[in-house]
Copies of this chain bind each other. A is one copy, B any other.
Amino acid sequence: MTRKPKPIKSELAWSTPDRIVVRGKDLPNEILGHLNLGDMAFLVILGRVPNEKESKLFNAIAVTLVEHGVTPSAIAARMTYLGAPESPQAAVAAGLLGLGSVFVGSTEGVARMLSENQDIEKMKRVPGLGHPIHKPVDPRTKRLFEIARETGFYGKYCKRMEEIGKERNLVVNATGAIGAIACELGIDWRAVRGIGVMARAIGLVGHILEESKSPMALELWERAEDEASAHLRPKK
């Protein structure tokens, strides 16, 4: 084969024996002790260090997505840990795999809808609206928009999201607020799902720790197996 290789390159990091540089910043001296984990995520997504206000707002939206109780994602992680306790990273990964179009994907849908100024008249289901429990107000939305105002980032996207909620007569849920705020922060909608993925990885570590001390996966399995096949087993 006479295939000619094309060059590959990455702008993310480089190192020499005495230096480690991430996104153009010296890791030991300009990052460690200066940036918190949310700021680092901001740097990873936007390529620059956030200012104080951006830091506060971005950390708030990321923190919102960390822990949602015993979700499908947490159950998947706990079931995986039950079979492979030696691989906690696999349990976290199993939990992340369900962060698709149905749940966390809605933050992405909101950010896309707002940034592309999509016509909601034509949409059957508008992302970011409605909640089975938190109504008539999602307390996270209220607080996140409050922080957006405090930091000077409550702008056209947040307004538009609130208008959409009124038009449809549905609560703007946390994913609606997060999608709108991500637009205000200048985050590409394609990157918004990533915020949920990184945040949930943190929450899943918590679920696995709890599962290791106070397990529920075995009990959930036994109940489900018993009930699911009961109609097939011969009656005595």
Contact = CB atoms under 8 A, between A and B. Distances in A.
A29 B143 contact: yes
Interface string A12-45: 1111111111110001110111011111110011
How many chain copies?
Answer: 4
Contact of A221 (B72, B91, B92): B72
B101 A18 contact: no
A90 B97 contact: yes
Interface in A138-165: 139-140, 142-144, 146-147, 150
A91 to B, nearest CB: 7
Given A38-B36, A100-B86, A28 B229 contact: no
Contact of A33 (B60, B85, B92): B60
Interface of A is mostly: helix
A170 interface: no
B83 A99 contact: yes
Contacts of A90: 84, 87, 89-90, 93, 96-98, 100
A214 B10 CA distance: 8
Interface in A203-224: 203, 205-210, 212, 214, 216-217, 219-224
A100 B89 CA distance: 7
B15 A133 contact: yes
Contacts of A219: 5-6, 8
Interface in A57-91: 59-60, 62-64, 66-73, 75-76, 79-91
30 contacts: A1-B233, A3-B223, A8-B227, A10-B216, A16-B133, A17-B133, A32-B147, A33-B56, A33-B143, A41-B66, A69-B225, A69-B228, A70-B225, A72-B217, A73-B83, A79-B98, A83-B97, A84-B87, A84-B90, A84-B100, A84-B102, A86-B101, A87-B87, A90-B98, A93-B96, A190-B209, A197-B201, A198-B198, A198-B202, A201-B201
